[in-house]
């Protein structure tokens, strides 16, 4: 298996002087979010930081090192490649791979880098055992029970047979049994608690057969913020460590601060006469003489084209409307209210400027998406600046 990764640029704040656009990551906010989350956990409950998708676009290496310092104990990734990237960065904490793995060559990579895979079916467990053969020591594995997500996992009603089968296979050591909530961020917690009851019933059946998994976990960010009874031995927290809430009703639980800001520079300022079209398709026709600013960021960087003429940005602490179609590398603003604006000035697309703030939730709500998608959408051609 060939494992390769795109090079990620890392800059300090001073170097942004030469950048058209960049992503700023507030490591102190990240640390504080982890500390806030740990305060609502029982002492015996560990925090697993979900750092898949390049830590939701924040840069996995720096995020992993920072959250470890702040008190996280585990990491969760989606793929073995993401786990290998952490190992190559010097991270030796336990790493759970959430995605299903069936390829013998990928299983060999998992074993080599001491990653901990998710097993979703007895057939998958058998492939692991046969591939590992007489390795000399067992590989820690986590069993996923489907309690209602209808994605990965063996039905919760078959938990006993699943665990018994895995425990008799050579080369595998049971590390945990877990499940995943489908609706923990809904106002109505009815189905979430049905999933919890199914999970508890499965665990009770295991105990009745003398089977005691070392760890149990089911809580994502929403469940972690919502109810301490859902925490078990560890919680898997993604969105919350990056400073966003899975749903508004969970905000009172802890005080979180967004970790990511997205900024760009004005590249040109001009005044156009009345009845002039702006950008592709002339979706915007100015009805007066309009001072416009061109900004060096576009949909190829992660600004959704669906935000065309529906978004605002911050300049000098005030909101400014975006006009015309958002293009691949640039977008335009109506800056008529800032007559002395000059090329090179900083535009905040996401983040805080003075008393004003624009969040990933604002963008997501505007285009009918979710904040997870917004965060993960910022491409690697935008340098990450850690401050």
- List, by residue number, the catalytic residues: 52, 280
**Six-digit token string for 161:** 């047979």
Number of residues that make up the chain? 387
In whole angstroms, give the CA distance from residue 300 to residue 297.
8
Helix 104-112 with 122-132: angle, nearest 10 deg: 70
Reduced to 3 states, what is the DSSP secondary structure of residue 139?
strand
Tell which residue, 192, 238, 189, has the closest CA to residue 370.
Answer: 238
Cα three-residue angle 13-385-33, rounded to 5 degrees: 115
Please say whether the dihedral angle defined by the alpha carbons of residues 85, 87, 91 and 96, taken in this order, is positive or negative.
positive
Cβ neighbours for 121, distance < 8 A, ≥ 6 positions apart: 154
The Cα–Cα gap between 256 and 88 comes to 30
Q: Which residue has the tokens 């905000």?
A: 251
Query: Which candidate, 101, 110, 181, places its Cα nearest to that of 140?
Result: 110
- With CA atoms as reference, report the closest residue to 139 among 147, 129, 130, 148: 129
Give CA–CA dist 1/81, Å, rounded.
Answer: 10
Q: What is the Cα–Cα distance from 51 to 372, expressed in whole angstroms? A: 12
Contact criterion met (CB below 8 Å) for 167 and 174 = yes
Which residues lie across from 278 on neighbouring strands?
284
Do the bridges between strand 346-353 and strand 356-358 make them parallel or antiparallel, or are there none, so unpaired? Answer: antiparallel
Sign, CA torsion 96/99/102/104: negative
303 contacts 383 by C-beta, under 8 angstroms:
no
């Amino acid at each position: 298996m060939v494992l390769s990764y795109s090079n990620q640029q890392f800059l300090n704040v001073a170097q942004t002087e030469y950048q058209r656009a960049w992503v700023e990551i507030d490591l102190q906010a990240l640390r504080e979010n982890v500390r806030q989350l740990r305060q609502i956990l029982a002492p015996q409950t560990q925090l697993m930081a979900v750092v898949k998708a390049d830590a939701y676009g924040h840069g996995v290496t720096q995020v992993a090192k920072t959250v470890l310092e702040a008190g996280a104990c585990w990491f969760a990734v989606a793929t073995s490649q993401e786990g290998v990237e952490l190992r190559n960065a010097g991270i030796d904490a336990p790493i759970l791979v959430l995605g299903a793995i069936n390829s013998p060559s990928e299983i060999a990579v998992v074993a080599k880098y001491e990653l901990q895979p998710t097993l979703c079916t007895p057939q998958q467990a058998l492939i692991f055992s046969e591939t590992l053969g007489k390795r000399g020591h067992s590989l820690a594995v986590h069993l996923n029970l489907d309690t209602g997500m209808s994605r990965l996992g063996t039905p919760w009603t078959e938990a006993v047979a699943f665990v018994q089968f895995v425990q008799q296979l050579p080369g595998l050591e049971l590390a945990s049994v877990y499940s995943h909530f489908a609706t923990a961020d809904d106002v109505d917690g009815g189905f979430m608690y049905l999933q919890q009851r199914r999970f508890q019933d499965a665990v009770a059946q295991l105990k009745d057969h003398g089977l005691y998994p070392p760890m149990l976990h089911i809580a994502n960010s929403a469940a972690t913020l919502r109810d301490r009874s859902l925490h078990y031995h560890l919680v898997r927290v993604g969105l919350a460590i990056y400073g966003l809430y899975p749903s508004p009703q969970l905000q009172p639980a802890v005080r979180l601060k967004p970790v990511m800001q997205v900024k760009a520079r004005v590249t040109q300022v001009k005044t156009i006469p009345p009845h002039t079209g702006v950008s592709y398709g002339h979706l915007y026709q100015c009805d007066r003489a309009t001072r416009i600013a061109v900004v060096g960021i576009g949909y190829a960087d992660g600004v959704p084209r669906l935000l065309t003429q529906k978004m605002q940005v911050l300049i000098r602490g005030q909101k400014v409307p975006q006009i015309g179609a958002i293009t691949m590398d640039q977008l335009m603003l109506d800056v008529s209210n800032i007559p002395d604006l000059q090329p090179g000035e900083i535009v905040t697309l996401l983040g805080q400027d003075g008393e004003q703030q624009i969040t990933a939730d604002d963008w997501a709500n505007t285009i009918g998406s979710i904040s997870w998608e917004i965060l993960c959408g910022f491409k690697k051609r935008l340098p990450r600046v850690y401050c």
